[in-house]
């Protein structure tokens, strides 16, 4: 596989007067998944946002394919798919439209691509309904379709299984397994176990104060 | 206090565990394998086009939001004759000021919608992570905002001026002044709108930031309108308005992008 890997070196992050990350280091290589666990407020989201380059670290650096992500943030972002707490969807647009505008900015998409991704997440029947009328779990599935469409080697997922039913959680697991088998890299913050047992999946527990 | 990031497995203790040290017993590559080849990046032009298309579609579905500032403009300019005097000579004298104060306030009203929704639902975050230039995407957003608020204003402004007694020959001058001036107003406003994203109640802060910066536009816009009504050459103030608009196009998106990035942190 390629040398695709995400390295965190001695990360220090302060939020106000709280020292959230204290010299955290790890590496995730191609085909590997890192599950970040820990109770609320231990900095899971902050860690993911720092890895994505949205937050500025007080110390340490994040390397992608051996280079600091700050060297060429745009190039790094074009290889990154980050899905936050809330699916980044417009309530007044349909699922299909949302995906076209959201992911289309990054790469060229055909209608067939979008349909294929929505079929994969079980959205065949509600792909043309305004997102306003969808349930929270369905919105999350639209976000997962976006994740597929972005076709990025690095996934940073913040609570990807929120609001999903059992089937949806299995969908997340299978997406991650597929992504890993294709040489992708995944870092996911989760509460619940994903139910994947593979040697390529490791855990990182963030401890509270 | 505990150490953060206590290693759960030994490999995390050491900085930078060798990449791929633990490799999966590779199953056959599935058709869903998308990570192999990073797809070609969309062109900046397509990206901007999609931003514009998305915002226009959204505006079409939520028409009320964009019509509001226009109704506001109509009401403000209609109030002047009631508040001052219905005498035509007096109205003609105040017409430039009335039109431009109305335009300034209504553009302020519309400004709140510029980035707010996108900040709430995470769209801006995805823009910032898209691999495209955030500056460029925000310029596209601001341009759409101008299409929805500035351009209709340029249609309404001469009507308002005519109702205040301006001669019909002044219409081209007024349209030109409002078109160029509203570009400058949208761009100045975009900086303030981006700066107040992190503020909980931005309603009061937005005018405080925007209005002082908009004063030159008000001065030269009203001057151009006044000259147009008096059937004189209005090109000098128009050039100055143009200069502000050009300055805005070059600098405002850069400033907005920095402000948006800060608000995302």
Closest by Cβ to A108, choosing from B40, B62, B132:
B40
**Higher pLDDT residue, B25 or A151?**
A151
Look over chain A and give the mean of its residue pLDDT values, rounded to a whole number: 90
Q: What do you get for the CA distance between the two ends of chain B, in Å? A: 26
What pLDDT does residue B39 have? 59
Which one of A17, A49, A106 would you mutate to disrupt binding with B, by most B Cβ within 10 Å of its Cβ? A106
| Residues of chain A neighbouring B39 (CB-CB closer than 8 A) | 107-108, 151
What pLDDT does residue A203 have? 86
Asked if the C-beta of A17 comes within 8 angstroms of chain B's C-beta atoms, the answer is no
DSSP state letter for A52: T
- Mind listing the pLDDT tens digit for each residue in B36-79? 455 567 788 999 999 999 999 999 988 888 889 999 999 999 99
Instruction: Residue count of chain B, please give it.
Output: 265
Does the structure show a pLDDT above 90 at A86?
no
**CA–CA gap between residue A178 and residue A161 (Å, rounded):** 16
Does the structure show a pLDDT above 80 at A166?
yes
Q: Which residues of chain B have a pLDDT value below 70?
A: 1-40, 202
Interface contact A105-B47, CB threshold 8 A: yes
Task: Give the closest residue to A136 by CA, choosing from A108, A110, A165.
Answer: A165
CA distance B134 to chain A (A): 9
DSSP chain B: -PPTT--SSGGGTSSSPPTTSS----PPPPTT--SSSPPPBPPHHHHHHHHHHHHHHHHHHTHHHHHHHHHHHHHHHHHHHHHS---HHHHHHHHHHHHHHHHHHHHHHHHTTTTHHHHHTTHHHHHHTSSS-HHHHHHHHHHHHHHHHHHHHHHHHHHHHHHTT--GGGHHHHHHHHHHHHHHHHHHHHHHHHHTTT-S--TTHHHHHHHHHHHHHHHHHHHHHHHHHTTS--HHHHHHHHHHHHHHHHHHHHHHHHHHHHHH-
Interface contact A86-B21, CB threshold 8 A: no
Does the structure show a pLDDT above 60 at A84?
yes
Query: Which backbone phi and psi does A204 adopt, to 5 degrees?
Result: -135, 115
Query: For residue B242, with 0-12 CB atoms within 10 Å meaning exposed, 13-18 middle and 19 or more buried, which class applies?
Result: middle
CA distance A209 to chain B (A): 6
What pLDDT does residue A197 have? 67
| Structural domain spans, chain A | 1-79+152-209, 91-151
Number of A–B residue contacts, CB under 8 Å: 224
What pLDDT does residue A57 have? 92
Q: What is the CATH class of A1-79+152-209?
A: alpha beta
The three-class DSSP label of residue A10 is strand
Residue in chain A lying closest to B45 (CA): A105
Instruction: With a threshold of 0.85, tell me whether the complex ipTM lies above it.
Output: yes
Asked if the C-beta of A182 comes within 8 angstroms of chain B's C-beta atoms, the answer is yes
Interface contact A29-B22, CB threshold 8 A: yes
Interface contact A102-B39, CB threshold 8 A: no
- pLDDT band for A209, please (50, 70, 90 cuts): low
Residue B28 tokens, joined: 């056959």
DSSP state letter for A24: E
The three-class DSSP label of residue A134 is coil
Integer CA distances (angstroms), B116 to A21, A75, B2, B194, in order: 30, 27, 39, 9
Q: What do you get for the CA distance between the two ends of chain A, in Å? A: 39
Asked if the C-beta of A116 comes within 8 angstroms of chain B's C-beta atoms, the answer is no
């Amino acid at each position: 596989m390629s040398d695709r890997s995400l390295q965190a070196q001695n990360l220090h992050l302060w939020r106000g007067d709280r020292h959230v990350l204290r010299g955290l280091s790890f590496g995730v290589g191609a085909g590997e998944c890192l599950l970040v666990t820990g109770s609320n407020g231990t900095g899971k989201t902050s860690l993911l946002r720092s890895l994505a380059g949205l937050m500025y670290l007080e110390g340490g650096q994040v390397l992608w394919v051996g280079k600091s992500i700050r060297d060429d943030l745009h190039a790094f972002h074009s290889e990154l798919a980050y899905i936050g707490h809330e699916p980044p969807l417009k309530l007044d647009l349909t699922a299909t439209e949302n995906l076209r505008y959201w992911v289309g900015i990054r790469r060229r998409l055909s209608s067939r691509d979008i349909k294929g991704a929505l079929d994969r997440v079980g959205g065949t029947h509600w792909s043309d309904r305004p997102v306003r009328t969808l349930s929270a779990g369905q919105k999350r599935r639209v976000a997962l379709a976006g994740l597929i469409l972005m076709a990025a080697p690095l996934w940073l997922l913040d609570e990807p299984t929120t609001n999903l039913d059992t089937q949806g959680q299995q969908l997340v697991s299978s997406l991650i397994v597929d992504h890993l088998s294709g040489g992708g890299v995944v870092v996911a913050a989760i509460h619940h176990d994903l139910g994947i047992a593979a040697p390529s999946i490791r855990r990182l527990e963030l401890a509270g104060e | 206090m505990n150490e953060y990031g206590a290693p759960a497995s030994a490999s995390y203790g050491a900085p930078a565990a060798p990449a791929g040290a633990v490799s999966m017993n590779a199953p056959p590559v599935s058709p869903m394998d998308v990570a192999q080849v990073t797809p070609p990046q969309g062109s900046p032009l397509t990206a901007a086009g999609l931003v514009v298309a998305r915002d226009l579609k959204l505006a079409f579905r939520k028409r009320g939001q964009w019509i509001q500032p226009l109704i506001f403009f109509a009401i403000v300019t209609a109030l002047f004759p009631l508040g001052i005097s219905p005498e035509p000579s007096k109205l003609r004298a105040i017409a430039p000021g009335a039109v431009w104060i109305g335009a300034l306030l209504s553009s302020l009203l519309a400004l709140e919608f510029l980035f707010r929704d996108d900040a709430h639902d995470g769209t801006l975050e995805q823009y910032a992570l898209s691999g495209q230039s955030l500056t460029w995407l925000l310029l596209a957003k601001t341009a759409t905002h101008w299409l929805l608020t500035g351009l209709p204003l340029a249609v309404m402004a001469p009507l308002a001026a005519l109702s205040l007694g301006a001669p019909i020959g002044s219409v081209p001058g007024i349209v030109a002044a409002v078109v160029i001036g509203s570009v400058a107003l949208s761009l100045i406003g975009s900086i303030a709108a981006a700066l107040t994203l992190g503020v909980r109640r931005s309603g009061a802060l937005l005018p405080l930031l925007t209005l002082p910066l908009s004063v030159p536009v008000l001065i030269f816009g009203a001057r151009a309108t006044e000259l147009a009504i008096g059937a004189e050459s209005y090109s000098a103030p128009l050039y100055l308005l143009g200069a502000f608009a050009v300055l805005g196009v070059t600098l405002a998106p850069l400033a907005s992008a920095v402000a948006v990035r800060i608000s995302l942190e």
